[in-house]
């Protein structure tokens, strides 16, 4: 802590005591000592975006008479005024309050977190970053490719947290994202594409060295070009019911949309209805609902290297690894301390025991809401991708979302994918274009009958999950194995 930050910390702690003295049952403050973002985009080799931002400020929450008040300021000379504003907002909100918020028992902690990073991307000169992206772009060039996109995004945040219970946390967060795409029209004039995001296996370090490791990113350029040429020459996927093998670069979105969002407790309680939507899950279903087959084990995981791993959430609770779905049964949800009591009251029994450490905010001027952490699927015991293909008589393998449409309560979905490979009698055969599939969430997860082993498991990054009003774009991860579903509706009827 620098001398200046120490003075700020002192002021914040005094203000937190002041809020308790004024009758608040809880108060907290997040100081974003620094929040750097950088985004670089090359489109057809031209620099389309070189955008950077820096933010510094404080966000304050106070809980008075069971109602929240929030205020934020970038003026670190007026911290007391910021607390006063939050207190006034809470007093106003108390008059309109619905359920009385109860944070439950205090569990003060003191802690630090820093993700594993070898080379801070903000220490790498811009010229070196652009050189790297240009080399990736060069490797995507081909006479058969109409358009190319290569992009990278870097984040570095230092966040200090205090609450009225004595919790003090210092966190560094680093994120490195990369994606590339090649596009070309097919003979009907419809644009086809092949793309990928920088991914991992959940271990290693997450700085500049991750992006520049060819295994996780640049080494895939040739394959993407090759696959696009196969897609462009391919027939559309004939409609029909067949087995569906989902690779992790598609499975992450399936999990994100039909498990992750559906299990956010604020959505379950209806707080997101006017924006992101609700959930087909009701509080009383937690602990009872059969969400999928016995093969389905989903967890809010703590993975060493993922944007969904952050040490402590924005209520200062140490991040926990816990099952959401255990052998197909819904056993827990993504929640914060804030909405536990309400869920239990509405269910008429204790359905959620403790914070799911899912309170996250994207900036000092946004209040924490229930977010996905790492919503992962545990690896299974059905072997490698090759084993699963060999066991499939009539199916397709799909990868990479190109379109998605999801019921506002996440009860049904329709996905389009960049590519599909036919599987006939245990062999991967031809490529199909315009592949789609659809289903009802619970029916679909109940048809899960093969889950690949650890060799098939990948950590996929999500840099842009949107939620909240005003919107908060959050980063997270999904660790996903290869999965097979039986008898799925695929393709579009003419």
Q: Residues interacting with Zn ion, by CB under 5 A? A: 465
Residues 6+ away with beta carbon under 8 Å from 36? 52, 53, 54, 122, 154, 155, 156, 157
Residue 184 is classified by DSSP as: E
Question: Pairing mode, if any, of strands 394-406 and 240-246?
Answer: parallel
Q: Is the peptide bond before 112 cis (omega within 30 degrees of 0)?
A: no
Least gap, CB of 253 to Zn ion (angstroms): 9
Question: Pairing mode, if any, of strands 394-406 and 412-424?
Answer: antiparallel
CB 162 within 8 A of CB 111: no
Least gap, CB of 275 to Zn ion (angstroms): 12
**Which of residues 139 and 376 has its CB atom nearest to Zn ion in the complex?**
376
**CB neighbour class for 384 (10 Å; exposed up to 12, middle 13-18, buried from 19):** middle
SS3 345: helix
**Which of residues 62 and 465 has its CB atom nearest to Zn ion in the complex?**
465
Instruction: For tokens 């956010």, name the residue.
Output: 264
Q: What is the 3-class SS of 368-406, one letter each residue?
A: CEECCCEEEECCCCCCCHHHHHHCCCEEEEEEEEEEEEE
Alpha carbon distance 280, 290 (integer Å) = 13
**Which of residues 54 and 275 has its CB atom nearest to Zn ion in the complex?**
275
**Which of residues 181 and 372 has its CB atom nearest to Zn ion in the complex?**
372
**Which of residues 40 and 462 has its CB atom nearest to Zn ion in the complex?**
462
For residue 197, report the phi and psi dihedrals to the nearest 5 degrees: -105, 150
**Which of residues 43 and 404 has its CB atom nearest to Zn ion in the complex?**
404
Query: Shortest Cβ contact with Zn ion: which residue?
Result: 465
Least gap, CB of 256 to Zn ion (angstroms): 6
From the list 486, 389, 401, the residue with the least C-alpha distance to 429 is: 389
**Which of residues 40 and 259 has its CB atom nearest to Zn ion in the complex?**
259
Least gap, CB of 372 to Zn ion (angstroms): 7
**Which of residues 256 and 450 has its CB atom nearest to Zn ion in the complex?**
256
Least gap, CB of 257 to Zn ion (angstroms): 7
**Which of residues 262 and 420 has its CB atom nearest to Zn ion in the complex?**
262
Least gap, CB of 55 to Zn ion (angstroms): 22
Least gap, CB of 261 to Zn ion (angstroms): 6
Alpha carbon distance 27, 35 (integer Å) = 23
Least gap, CB of 479 to Zn ion (angstroms): 16
**Tally of helices (H runs) and strands (E runs) in the chain:** 10, 24
Question: Pairing mode, if any, of strands 322-326 and 458-467?
Answer: unpaired
């Amino acid at each position: 802590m620098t001398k200046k930050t120490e003075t700020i910390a002192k002021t914040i702690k005094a203000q937190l005591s002041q809020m308790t003295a004024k009758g608040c049952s809880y108060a907290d403050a997040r100081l974003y000592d620094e929040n750097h973002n950088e985004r670089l985009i090359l489109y057809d080799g031209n620099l389309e975006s070189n955008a950077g931002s820096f933010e510094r400020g404080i966000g304050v929450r106070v809980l008075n008479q069971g109602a929240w008040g929030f205020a934020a300021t970038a003026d670190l000379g007026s911290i007391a005024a910021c607390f006063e504003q939050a207190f006034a907002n809470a007093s106003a909100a108390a008059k309109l309050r619905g359920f009385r918020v109860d944070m439950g028992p205090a569990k003060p902690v003191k802690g630090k977190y820093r993700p594993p990073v070898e080379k801070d991307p903000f220490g790498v000169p811009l010229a070196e970053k652009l050189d790297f992206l240009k080399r990736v772009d060069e490797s995507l060039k081909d006479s058969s490719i109409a358009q190319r996109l290569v992009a990278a995004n870097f984040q570095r945040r230092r966040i200090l947290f205090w609450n009225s219970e004595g919790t003090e946390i210092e966190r560094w967060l680093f994120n490195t994202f990369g994606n590339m795409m090649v596009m070309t029209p097919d003979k009907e004039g419809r644009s086809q594409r092949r793309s990928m995001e920088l991914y991992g296996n959940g271990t290693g370090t997450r700085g500049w060295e991750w992006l520049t490791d060819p295994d996780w990113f640049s080494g895939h350029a040739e394959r993407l070009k090759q696959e696009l040429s196969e897609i462009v020459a391919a027939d559309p996927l004939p409609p029909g019911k067949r087995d569906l093998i989902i690779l992790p670069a598609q499975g992450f979105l399936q999990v994100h949309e039909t498990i992750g969002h559906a299990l956010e407790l604020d959505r379950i309680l209806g707080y997101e209805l006017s924006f992101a939507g609700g959930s087909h899950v009701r509080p009383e279903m937690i602990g009872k609902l059969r969400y999928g087959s016995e093969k389905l084990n989903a967890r809010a995981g703590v993975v060493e290297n993922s944007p969904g791993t952050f040490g402590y959430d924005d209520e200062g609770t140490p991040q926990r690894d816990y099952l959401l779905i255990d052998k197909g049964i819904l056993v827990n949800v993504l929640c914060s301390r804030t909405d536990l009591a309400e869920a239990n009251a509405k269910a008429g029994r204790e359905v959620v025991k403790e914070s799911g450490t899912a309170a996250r905010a994207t900036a000092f001027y946004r209040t924490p809401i229930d977010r996905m952490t790492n919503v992962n699927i545990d690896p299974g015991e059905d072997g490698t991708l090759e084993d699963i293909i060999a066991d499939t008589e009539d199916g397709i393998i799909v990868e990479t979302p190109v379109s998605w449409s999801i019921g506002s309560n996440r009860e049904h979905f329709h996905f389009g994918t960049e590519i599909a490979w036919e599987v006939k009698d245990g062999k991967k055969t031809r490529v199909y274009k315009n592949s789609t599939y659809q289903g009802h969430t619970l029916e679909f997860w109940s048809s899960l009958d093969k889950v690949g082993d650890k060799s098939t498991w990948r950590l996929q990054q999500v840099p842009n999950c949107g939620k909240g009003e005003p919107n908060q774009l959050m980063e997270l991860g999904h660790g996903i194995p290869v999965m097979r579903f039986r008898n799925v509706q695929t393709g579009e009827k003419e």
